[in-house]
Amino acid sequence: MKRSNGLPNNGYALIVDGQVKTEFTTREGAVAGARDLKRRFPVLQIRLYDAEAKRAEEFA
């Protein structure tokens, strides 16, 4: 289920250049997805959003 701002209520999401793009149930899945995107498109700004903690962190 999503919030009105597009962020998930549970799990993890990738925020790419300021927009929620993909949701994951596990942190490991989100990190793998972010790593793949960053490898293919190194200039993208990618953040990992943790719905439980309600915070996003920069993925380098």
27 pLDDT higher than 60: yes
Q: Would 20 be classed as within a structural domain?
A: yes
What predicted TM-score, i.e. pTM, was given to this entire model?
0.85
Q: Would 28 be classed as within a structural domain?
A: yes
Q: Would 1 be classed as within a structural domain?
A: no
7 pLDDT higher than 60: yes
Number of structural domains found in the chain:
1
Range of the domain at 45: 12-59
Q: Would 6 be classed as within a structural domain?
A: no
Q: Catalogue the long-range contacts made by 12-18 (C-beta closer than 8 Å, 24 or more residues apart).
A: 12/48, 12/49, 12/50, 12/51, 13/48, 13/49, 13/51, 14/46, 14/47, 14/48, 14/49, 15/46, 15/47, 15/48, 15/49, 15/56, 16/44, 16/45, 16/46, 17/44, 17/45, 18/45
Q: Would 2 be classed as within a structural domain?
A: no
Q: Would 45 be classed as within a structural domain?
A: yes
